[in-house]
Amino acid sequence: MDERIAAYDTKMSKTLKNLDSELGTIRAGRANPHVLDRITVDYYGAPTPLQQVANISVPEARMIQIQPWDGSLLKQIEKAILVSDLGINPTNDGKMIRLVFPELTEERRKELVKDVKKKGEAAKVAVRNIRRDANDAFKKLAKSDVSEDEIKELEEKIQKVTDKYIKEVDKSVEAKSKEIMTV
């Protein structure tokens, strides 16, 4: 692959990875430990990701168990979950915290699918913006000693790369939407 194209391919790839990580945090009725990825706990004065201070497991399809390595963190973990946007009340038994995910209503599922589609659309816009930046950079090459045919060829190549990533975004959005709508 042309190195002038490779840089933009990398940027588009990062956009897709970002979308996948965002979609991973949307809960689909089943317990998914990734919904806790953005939660941090105050651990000796430093905000620390929950995964670094506790063991997180999924004993049942709709339950997550959080067992802190340091028992004194139970209250802080509970508080962090309550102030997050998870919308689930943690149950604390003195040793571990349990999160029970309620079954999603049809209405809530449809809202989540809309949210997934919005995130997908934003990713497509980002990919297209990268393509625009690439085309602008290629047009500037015209001022140097690059022929118009070469520039046309570069523009066609970046369009193919863009199409590939747009398809990938569509696949990710469709897979997540299907997962959410599956009861």
11-43, pLDDT tens digit by residue? 999 999 999 888 877 766 677 787 788 888 888
Which of 85, 100, 115 corresponds to the end of one domain?
A: 100
Q: The CATH number of the domain where 165 resides is what?
A: 1.10.132.20
Tell me the average pLDDT of the chain: 86
Structurally, the chain folds into a number of domains equal to 2
Verify that 150 and 87 share a domain, yes or no: no
Give me the pLDDT at residue 183, please: 63
Verify that 127 and 147 share a domain, yes or no: yes
Beta strands of the chain (E only): which ranges?
40-43, 46-49, 54-60, 63-68, 91-92, 97-100
pLDDT at 77 over 70: yes
Q: The CATH number of the domain where 70 resides is what?
A: 3.30.1360.40
User: What are the Cα distances from residue 107, in Å, to 4, 22, 112, 132, 157?
Assistant: 46, 21, 9, 38, 42
Verify that 74 and 123 share a domain, yes or no: no
pLDDT more than 90, % of the chain: 27
Verify that 43 and 84 share a domain, yes or no: yes
Helix (H, G, I), strand (E, B) or coil at 158: helix
Which of 83, 100, 117 corresponds to the end of one domain?
A: 100
- Domain that residue 50 falls in: 33-100
Residue 64's DSSP bridge partners are: 99
Q: Model confidence over 125-165: pLDDT tens digits?
A: 999 999 999 999 888 887 777 788 888 888 899 999 999 99
pTM of the complete model: 0.70
Verify that 88 and 128 share a domain, yes or no: no
Which of 52, 67, 100 corresponds to the end of one domain?
A: 100
